[in-house]
């Protein structure tokens, strides 16, 4: 999937996350979370797995986490990708 424009998914509510995605060279995932020390790597792994499964290779992803579970993070990343992308 090719990322063509900026897109958002999610909210700033508790137990949710806000995912921003935009076109970029290469793949980068930035995480902002109060629990980043404990769960930052897990959040990154979930996001990267979804991006890999969708075939995304060029995107800048920013995740603002407010205690979201892995399934919520995965759903928000996938939604942002589908809003921003086009099947290759």
Residue 65 sits in a domain of what CATH number? 3.30.230.10
Q: Does residue 71 have a pLDDT over 70?
A: yes
Average pLDDT in the 80-84 region? 97
Q: Total domain count for the chain?
A: 1
Q: Report the pLDDT value the prediction gives residue 88, as an integer from 0 to 100.
A: 62
Q: Give the pTM.
A: 0.94
What would the DSSP string read from start to end of 1-42? -EE-S-EEEE-SSTT-EEEEEE--SSEEEEEEETTHHHHHHH
Q: How many CA atoms lie within 13 A of 28 on its CB side?
A: 8
pLDDT digits (tens, 9 = 90+) for 17-58: 999 999 999 999 999 998 999 999 999 999 999 999 999 999
pLDDT at 25 (0 to 100): 95
What pLDDT sits at residue 86?
82
Task: Give the mean pLDDT of the chain.
Answer: 96
Structural domain that includes position 42: 2-86
């Amino acid at each position: 999937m090719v990322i063509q424009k900026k897109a958002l998914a999610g909210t700033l509510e508790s137990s949710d996350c806000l995912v921003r995605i935009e076109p970029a060279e290469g793949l980068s995932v930035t995480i902002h979370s109060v629990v980043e020390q404990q769960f930052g790597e897990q959040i990154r792994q979930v996001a990267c797995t979804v991006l890999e499964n969708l075939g995304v290779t060029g995107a800048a992803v920013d995740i603002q986490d407010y205690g979201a579970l892995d399934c919520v993070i995965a759903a928000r990343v996938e939604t942002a990708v589908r809003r921003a992308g086009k099947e290759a």
